[in-house]
Structure 1
């Protein structure tokens, strides 16, 4: 995934980073005893990352920016 660094006074820079996405189990069903719908969902979230460095040209000189890039993802209950 490309992340665009947009800092005031600096050129735009696109950096390739990893993101978390994918299938995590979820389901819903009608509970006839309670006349309600039961929903259970899990969402994919980043649990570990590495830092990707990017050189950005700015008015006052070059700057090094650090952007998080996913190295591990897991399924958690959705908040």
Structure 2
């Protein structure tokens, strides 16, 4: 199942004034994987979603689901991307 982040993971990190290294220290997500997820969060694992949710103290639904994600998905489909 693909997930489209409601918010860019990089934006969440920067809003919290964290470096990539600080996020990797506070989660179980390796640095290279975190860099990948910041550029493409559509293939994020459930355990990674939980780590991100816990780190930023936001629900997974708030970060990864919702009206913005629905809009992004429909726009992507309209532009010829994958659903």
TM over 0.5: no
What is the TM-score normalised by the length of structure 1?
0.21
TM-score computed with the length of structure 2 as normaliser? 0.21
Q: Which has the higher helix share?
A: 2
Greater strand proportion: 1
Larger Rg: 1
**Of the two structures, which has the highest relative contact order with CA contacts closer than 8 Å and spacing of 6 or more?**
2
